[in-house]
Amino acid sequence: MLQPKIKKVVPLKDYKLLLSYETGENKVFAVKPYIAGNWYGELRDISYFKTVHLIPDGTGIAWTNGQDIAPHELYEQSSPL
How far apart CA 20 and CA 36 sit, in angstroms, is 26
Q: What is the DSSP letter of 3?
A: P
Q: Which residue has the higher pLDDT, 2 or 39?
A: 39
Assess whether pLDDT exceeds 80 at residue 1.
no
Q: Which of 47, 3, 48 is nearest to 27 (CA)?
A: 3
How far apart CA 44 and CA 30 sit, in angstroms, is 13
Predicted local distance difference test score (pLDDT) of residue 58: 87
Q: Which residues contact 70 (CB under 8 A, 6 or more apart)?
A: 60
Domain boundaries, the chain: 6-80
**Highest CATH level, class, for 6-80:** alpha beta
Task: Give residue-wise pLDDT tens across range 28-41.
Answer: 999 999 998 888 99
Task: Give residue-wise pLDDT tens across range 17-73.
Answer: 999 999 999 999 999 999 988 889 999 999 999 999 999 888 899 999 999 998 999
